[in-house]
């Protein structure tokens, strides 16, 4: 795959995909709206504090790569942006709703387990269970045109393995695992705690749904 997005490019594409699904009446996005989306405190990892100039400069680069479309209202002189990475007439990638949700979440939040992806996908797509998420991840790994997602080695303290997108180039899974372990050894209890909590919430939600099914 020839696409290799840097961290800011991945954030911009992820935000444009997200907003096209959850707020279609406000899409394409203005520069101000896109900057705010990139800098959201929730639903983003890592949290960024990008300036409008940084976002606009990166959009120009993505436009030149044919990954973003810039539309200008000549009366108001306001530019609006939409993504061209996938699901457009000239895109190389066409995803169904479930695949699009996973790609979007991986672009916005980085590596995640199936349980985390399911717990965070509500506004993009409703997965029945973690097994469905795993099936969609497999379809993105085993796709005919080459993998778009990679499964990372399970790290100590995690019940499931994490998955990562490949739109930023090949992933050295062993190096990633070593980096995660080194970060934990250095002491980052808050991040680890949040990740573990998200996974627990996902498992609890799945159990609640199972019990509802039995009682219904």
The per-residue pLDDT for range 170-212, each reduced to its tens digit, is 988 777 766 766 666 665 544 444 555 666 666 676 566 666 6
The angle formed by the CA atoms of residues 6, 117 and 106, to the nearest 5 degrees, is 10
Q: Residue 141: which of 122, 118, 158, 164 has the closest Cα?
A: 164
Separation between Cα atoms, residue 105 and residue 153, nearest integer Å:
19
Give me the mean pLDDT over the 125-141 stretch.
98
> Which position has the higher pLDDT, 129 or 156?
129
- List the alpha helices (DSSP H) in the chain: 7-22, 31-38, 52-64, 97-109, 114-120, 130-141, 173-186, 189-215
Task: Rounding to the nearest 10 degrees, give the CA dihedral for residues 144, 146, 148, 151.
Answer: 100
Separation of alpha carbons 83 and 63, rounded Å:
9
- Look-up of token digits 């949290």: 47
pLDDT of residue 154 exceeding 80: yes
The pLDDT value given to residue 86: 97
**CA–CA dist 103, 94 (Å, integer):** 11
Catalogue all structural domains in the chain, each as residue range(s) with its CATH number. Answer: 7-83 (1.10.10.10), 97-215 (1.10.10.10)
Q: What is the pLDDT of residue 74?
A: 77
> pTM of the prediction?
0.83
- The predicted pLDDT at position 134 comes to 98
Average pLDDT of the residues of the chain: 89
Residue 51 pLDDT more than 90?
yes
């Amino acid at each position: 795959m020839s696409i290799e997005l840097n961290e800011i490019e991945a954030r911009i594409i992820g935000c444009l995909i997200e907003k096209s699904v959850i707020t279609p009446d406000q899409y394409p996005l203005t520069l101000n709206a896109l900057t705010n989306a990139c800098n959201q405190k929730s639903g983003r990892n890592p949290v960024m504090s990008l300036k409008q100039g940084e976002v606009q400069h990166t959009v120009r680069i993505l436009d030149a790569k044919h990954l973003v479309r810039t539309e200008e209202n000549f009366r108001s002189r306001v530019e609006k942006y939409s993504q061209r990475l996938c699901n457009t007439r000239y895109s190389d990638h066409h995803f169904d709703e479930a695949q699009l949700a996973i790609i979007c979440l991986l672009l916005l939040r980085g590596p995640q387990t199936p349980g985390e992806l399911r717990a965070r996908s509500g506004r993009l797509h409703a997965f029945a269970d973690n097994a469905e998420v795993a099936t969609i991840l497999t379809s993105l790994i085993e796709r005919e045109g080459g993998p778009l997602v990679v499964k990372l080695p399970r790290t100590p303290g995690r019940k499931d393995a994490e998955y990562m997108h490949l739109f930023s180039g090949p992933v050295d899974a062993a190096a990633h695992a070593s980096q995660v372990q080194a970060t934990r050894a250095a002491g980052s209890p808050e991040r680890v705690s949040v990740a573990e909590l998200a996974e627990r919430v996902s498992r609890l939600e799945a159990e609640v749904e199972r019990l509802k099914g039995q009682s219904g």
